[in-house]
Amino acid sequence: MIILILNVAIVEDDAESVKLLKSYFIRYQRENQNIAFEFYIFDDGVKIISNFKPIYDIILLDIEMEITDGLRTAEIIRETDQKVIIIFVTNMPQYAIKGYSVNATNYLLKPLPYFAFSEEISKSIERIKREKQNKNIIIKTENCIKKIDSDEILFIESIKHDLIIHTEQDFFEIRDTLKKYEDILQDYNFNRANNSYLINLKHVKGVEQDFALVGNHKLKIARSKKKQFMEHLVNYLGEKV
pLDDT digits (tens, 9 = 90+) for 229-239: 999 898 887 75
pLDDT number for residue 21: 98
Considering only CA atoms, give the Rg of the chain.
21
What's the mean pLDDT in 131-136?
71
Question: CB-based burial of residue 37 (10 Å sphere; 0-12 exposed, 13-18 middle, 19+ buried)?
Answer: middle
Amino acid identity at 190: F
pLDDT number for residue 1: 46
CA distance 116 to 112: 7
pLDDT number for residue 196: 95
Model confidence at 94, pLDDT cuts 50, 70, 90, reads low
pTM of the model: 0.62
CA distance 77 to 173: 21
Question: Residues 38, 7: contact at Cβ < 8 Å?
Answer: yes
pLDDT number for residue 98: 58
pLDDT number for residue 239: 57
For the chain, the average pLDDT equals 88
Q: Helices in the chain by DSSP H: which ranges?
A: 15-31, 45-49, 70-80, 96-99, 114-131, 178-184, 223-240
pLDDT number for residue 241: 40
- For the stretch 186-194, contacts whose Cβ atoms lie closer than 8 Å and that sit 24 or more positions apart, written own/partner, are 187/135, 188/134, 188/135, 188/150, 189/232, 189/236, 190/150, 190/153, 190/156, 191/228, 191/229, 191/232, 191/233, 192/225, 193/219, 193/220, 193/221, 193/222, 193/225, 193/229, 194/220, 194/221, 194/222, 194/225
CA distance 150 to 145: 16
Question: Does the structure show a pLDDT above 70 at 102?
Answer: no
CA distance 25 to 117: 9
- How confident is the model over 174-224, as pLDDT tens digits? 999 999 999 988 878 899 999 999 999 999 999 999 999 998 999 999 999
Beta bridge partners of 36: 5
CA distance 43 to 15: 8
Question: Residues 35, 125: contact at Cβ < 8 Å?
Answer: yes
Residue 77, φ and ψ in degrees, nearest 5:
-60, -40
Check residue 59 and report its DSSP letter: E
Taking each helix axis from N to C end, the angle separating 114-131 and 15-31, rounded to the nearest 10 degrees, works out to 70
